[in-house]
Amino acid sequence: MSVEELIDEVNAIKAIYPESVNQEAPQIYRYVVPNHESIEIQLHFPLSYPNQSPELLSIANKDQLRYTDTVYLVKLVTSLIVKTFVPGQVIMYELLTHLSEILDEYLAHRKPPTNKEAEVQPESHLEDSPAENESSLAEQTGQAGDITINWVNSDVITDRRSTFIAHALEVHSLEEAKSSIECLLSDKKVAKAAHNISSWRIKKDNIIYQDCDDDGETAAGGRLLHLLQMMDAWNVVVVVSRYFGGIHLGPDRFKHINSVARDVITKGGFIQEANKEKEAGRSSKRK
């Protein structure tokens, strides 16, 4: 990845999570974890990124009262980097999202501090993190209350400070499609988008359900539905989030909406079932 492409990824993160990234040196960035501003992670990006994964340099824990296990946080972030990394694909959006969701669940289930624990504690960094309570965060983050956990996410596209990302989910009824969209839009980062364009195609009992919603981006929903039809994608709902950067893109915005939608449909394998049915049909005809 070139320096310009790394900057594009950083700008995409800033568009979704404002004031969350600071460059501290060439190829070294500090990220504030969304919704958990007391936790910051410092990463080094090799010149070969994204073909090579970033390296965790340090974690700053500015609130040990709420986040008691900094050593485990180090292990958690390191593990998430390994699990998230795919050679050739940028990972920071997915990494920060997963980390934020795990910490959301941790705070929702943690026990209230005792009077002794409530005493003011100094900021903790990687080199002086206490290890004695390491197990508690691990135990409390076993199941994350993640709104988007079952959704497939596309790669992020940034153009003139506008950011585009698509989400896709397998559904098998109109009610499931609508409720899934409603649930996704309750997510804070998704709700911040200027437009959340959606479309779905469902085939059930020889009945076809397909529709779309522009969400204020005129004609975008119809174009998205047309893409699903052209790709022969079935039993899927797709939502494309556009974060407006202040500069009008003209027709280019439709190109980006289609690009991220195509990416997420392919990633999620939502055209495989249809293709298999076609192949099965051809085989039976040959017989």
Could you give the CA distance from residue 248 to residue 2 in angstroms, rounded to a whole number? 26
Q: Which two tokens stand for residue 252?
A: 């280019």
- Collapsing DSSP states into helix, strand and coil, what is residue 218? coil
CATH code of 229's domain: 3.30.230.30
C-alpha 84/C-alpha 102 separation (Å) is: 14
Q: Is 140 contained in some domain?
A: no
**Does residue 50 have a cis peptide bond before it, meaning omega lies within 30 degrees of 0?**
yes
Kindly state whether residues 174 and 245 are assigned to the same domain.
yes
**pLDDT, tens digit, 9 for 90 and up, residues 31-54:** 999 889 999 999 999 888 888 889
Other CB atoms within a 10 A radius of the CB of residue 261 amount to 27
- The model's confidence at residue 236, banded by pLDDT at 50, 70 and 90, is very high
Domain final residue pick, 79, 108, 137: 108
**The amino acid at 153:** N
What is the residue-averaged pLDDT of the chain? 79
132-174 confidence digits (pLDDT tens): 344 444 444 333 445 666 889 888 888 887 889 999 999 999 9
Within a domain: 221: yes
- What is the CATH number for 48? 3.10.110.10
Q: Is the pLDDT of residue 248 over 80?
A: yes
Residue 128 has pLDDT above 70, yes or no: no
pLDDT of residue 106: 78
State how many domains the chain has. Answer: 2
Buried b (16+ CB within 10 A) or exposed e, 73-102: bbebbeebbeebbeeeebbbbbbbbbbbbb
- What percent of the chain clears pLDDT 90, i.e. is strictly above it? 31
Compare 195 and 134 and report the one with higher pLDDT: 195
Find the mean pLDDT for residues 109-138: 44
Q: Is the pLDDT of residue 85 over 70?
A: yes
Domain of residue 102: give its range.
Answer: 3-108
Query: 229 and 156 in one domain?
Result: yes
Is 115 inside a domain boundary? no
Nearest to 29 by CA among 51, 3, 52: 3
Tokens of residue 124, six digits: 């903790």
Q: What is the pLDDT of residue 149?
A: 64
Of 80, 108, 136, the domain-final residue: 108
Domain co-membership, 257 together with 162? yes
pTM value is 0.54
Cα–Cα distance, 264 to 110 (Å, whole number): 35
